[in-house]
């Protein structure tokens, strides 16, 4: 196991925005790691707490807990959807969403089939938070968060 010295994006930002040049450096590295993970069918759980920035500025994605879930994904040859496989493996109730609520895509929130676009949506949510210092979607309860994810249009950011 690699020893890492640095901090997560959550610790790095602490509710503040990052300078745009740092956001770009971090975003490029996350996107590169995300592409490699998706090609191997190992989608990570993209959120600031799972993205680590080393003291040298190298970005590492830490949590691939969802990768095990995606490995059960099968082509449409009579297999159940990925969302249902996820629910079946981790909970006894079908149609349950798995992921971190404020960074979920609308498809995750709805319990639909997922693909790499879900990871890109989560990355966009993380980048929004890095640029503004606030989460893209906020709510005190899961239903409020789901409502935000499904209906809110983010305002354009001026850079």
Which positions are catalytic?
41
Q: What are residue 54's DSSP bridge partners?
A: 6
Q: Which backbone phi and psi does 25 adopt, to 5 degrees?
A: -60, -45
Percent helix, strand and coil across the chain, each to the nearest 5: 50, 5, 45
Cα–Cα distance, 133 to 136 (Å, whole number)? 9
Angle CA 77–79–85, to nearest 5: 155
95: alpha, beta or left, given left = phi > 0 and alpha = psi -120 to 50?
A: left
Please state the φ and ψ torsions of residue 64, each to the nearest 5 degrees: -110, 35
């Amino acid at each position: 196991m690699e020893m890492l010295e640095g901090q997560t994006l959550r610790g790095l930002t602490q509710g503040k925005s990052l300078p745009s040049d740092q956001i770009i450096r971090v975003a490029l590295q996350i996107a590169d790691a995300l592409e490699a993970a998706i090609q191997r069918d190992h989608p990570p759980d993209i959120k600031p707490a799972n993205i680590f920035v080393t003291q040298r500025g190298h970005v590492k994605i830490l949590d691939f807990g969802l990768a095990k879930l995606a490995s059960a994904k099968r082509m449409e040859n009579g297999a159940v959807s990925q969302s249902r496989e996820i629910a079946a493996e981790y909970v006894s109730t079908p149609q349950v969403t798995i992921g971190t609520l404020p960074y979920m895509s609308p498809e995750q929130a709805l319990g639909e089939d997922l693909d790499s676009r879900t990871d890109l949506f989560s990355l966009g949510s993380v980048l929004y938070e890095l640029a503004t210092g606030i989460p893209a979607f906020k709510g005190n309860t899961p239903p409020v968060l789901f409502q935000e994810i499904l209906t809110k249009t983010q305002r354009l950011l001026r850079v």
